[in-house]
Amino acid sequence: MMQDTLTVLGIETSCDETAAAVVRLSPAGTEVLSDRIASQTEDHALYGGVVPEIAARAHVERLDGLIRLAMADAGIGWEGLSGVAATAGPGLIGGVMAGLSTAKAIALARGLPLLAVNHLEGHALSPRLAEDVAFPYLLLLVSGGHCQFVFVEGVGKYQRLGSTIDDAAGEAFDKTAKLLGLAGAGGPAVEREALEGDADAVELPRPLLDRPGLDMSFSGLKTAVRRAAEEEKLTERRRADICASFQAAVADILSHKSSRAMELVTHLTNQRTFVVAGGVAANKALRARLEAEARRAGFRFVAPPMRWCTDNAAMIALAGAERLRLGLSDPLDTPARARWPLDEASATSAPVYGKGKKGAKA
């Protein structure tokens, strides 16, 4: 089935953002017709982390209204849709169920194909929302639940090249923010503080840098940050220094491993494109470091616009539309999955264990 124009509603509910968007693929290119997000940051602020039950309930309460808004923004009715996509995992299971069931209900009521999208595939394809990025490309996916290098050969064709063996980079940002008592979303708060600090002030480890391969580790870094925070009085100055030093350590680890990944990928393809996606890719200092690394290696560097780095529904609608264009769709009894590796083959042959807000980081 090869259709000229495909218009897909996407729904994202895997963590603490409720989102709905409409994306259109046509010979003219990719258009985001609407893109709505309702953040739950306030709902969880009291608890110092995302509470799954609160998240699931908030998704259920907000979804209908948000979908209505996304459809109105796009200026289309149900008959204007070619399919409905929703994140089917990995993520907090209650939230994933809320979004996926809503998509199933729409699909059933309107006789539309359902696209059960892997959230990681959404991130992996997100650069294609704003730019023409041809396959294959090297992807560094860095988010709150995941940190991995993936060789993206095409829609549905993902080969994991390496990944964190413990915490995700975003999780380390969030824990650092919490340890230092910073208010608001972890990553942006640390980035803001880091601007005022000295990156050489606090000595922090760069785990696994001396080891070959593309695996990464961030939990030792988190422990070192805790020690640094307890060692001296936490003045504003000290807090900024810890943030700057922490951010520099993460950037060192990711840029060092990225340069190695680019080297590896030159053996797999002649096409030299390096993409960074996921929430942590919104970090300006990190983007600059990775961009410099790509330039050095002779790679084109691509990072999605900030709003499509962090969780959003446009990337889910896009992944759905790309799959629909290939003639793919999913049955209405497709289950929601708390865990769902992007590359099932490598995940089974070389499993990486870990627990976190989104389950196994591989």
Q: What residues between 275 and 334 interact with Zn ion by CB under 5 A? A: 311
Select the binding partner of residue 173 from Zn ion, ligand KG4, none (C-beta < 5 to 8 A, by kind). ligand KG4
Size of the site for ligand KG4 (CB under 6 A): 21
Select the binding partner of residue 85 from ligand KG4, Zn ion, none (C-beta < 5 to 8 A, by kind). none
Q: Measured from the CB atom, is 71 or 140 closer to ligand KG4?
A: 140
Pairing of strands 83-89, 6-12: parallel
Span of 49-57, 152-160, 187-195, 339-347 interacting with ligand KG4 by CB under 6 A: 187-195
Contact 168, 146 (CB under 8 A): yes
Is residue 173 at the binding interface for ligand KG4, with CB under 6 A as the rule? yes
Q: Measured from the CB atom, is 109 or 195 closer to ligand KG4?
A: 195
Size of the site for Zn ion (CB under 5 A): 2
The distance of closest approach from Cβ of residue 276 to ligand KG4 in the complex, given in angstroms and rounded to an integer, is: 12
Tokens of 265: 């990928």
Is residue 174 at the binding interface for ligand KG4, with CB under 6 A as the rule? yes
* Polymer length in residues for the chain: 362
Q: What residues between 283 and 312 interact with ligand KG4 by CB under 6 A? A: 283, 310-311
Q: Which of 18, 34, 126, 143 binds Zn ion (CB under 5 A)?
A: 143
* Cβ neighbours of residue 231 closer than 8 Å, sequence gap 6 or more: none
Pairing of strands 29-39, 83-89: unpaired
∠ CA 199-204-208, rounded to 5°? 120
Contact 244, 176 (CB under 8 A): no
Is residue 8 at the binding interface for ligand KG4, with CB under 6 A as the rule? no
Select the binding partner of residue 150 from ligand KG4, Zn ion, none (C-beta < 5 to 8 A, by kind). none
Is residue 280 at the binding interface for ligand KG4, with CB under 6 A as the rule? yes
Is residue 343 at the binding interface for Zn ion, with CB under 5 A as the rule? no
CA distances from 276 to 303, 341, 356 (A): 5, 18, 21
Q: Measured from the CB atom, is 66 or 228 closer to Zn ion?
A: 66
**3-class SS letters over 105-153:** HHHHHHCCCEEEEEHHHHHHHHHHHCCCCCCCEEEEEECCCCEEEEEEE
Alpha-carbon dihedral sign for residues 40, 46, 47, 53? negative
Is residue 215 at the binding interface for ligand KG4, with CB under 6 A as the rule? no
Strand order in the sheet with 300-302: 157-163, 147-154, 137-142, 273-277, 300-302
Q: Measured from the CB atom, is 6 or 360 closer to ligand KG4?
A: 360
Contact code string over 201-240 relative to Zn ion, x by CB under 5 A: ----------------------------------------
Q: Measured from the CB atom, is 113 or 301 closer to ligand KG4?
A: 301
Contact 339, 90 (CB under 8 A): yes
The distance of closest approach from Cβ of residue 4 to ligand KG4 in the complex, given in angstroms and rounded to an integer, is: 32
Q: What residues between 112 and 171 interact with ligand KG4 by CB under 6 A? A: 143-145, 170-171
Tokens of 111: 């006789």
Q: Report the helix count and the strand count for the chain, using DSSP H and E.
A: 11, 10
Residue (of 19, 3, 2) closest to 117 by Cα position = 19
Q: Measured from the CB atom, is 260 or 357 closer to ligand KG4?
A: 357
* Cβ neighbours of residue 123 closer than 8 Å, sequence gap 6 or more: 141, 143, 146, 277, 278, 315
Contact code string over 69-98 relative to ligand KG4, x by CB under 6 A: ------------------------------
Select the binding partner of residue 174 from Zn ion, ligand KG4, none (C-beta < 5 to 8 A, by kind). ligand KG4
**Contact footprint for Zn ion (CB under 5 A):** 143, 311
**Contact footprint for ligand KG4 (CB under 6 A):** 15, 143-145, 170-171, 173-174, 185-188, 191, 278-280, 282-283, 310-311, 358
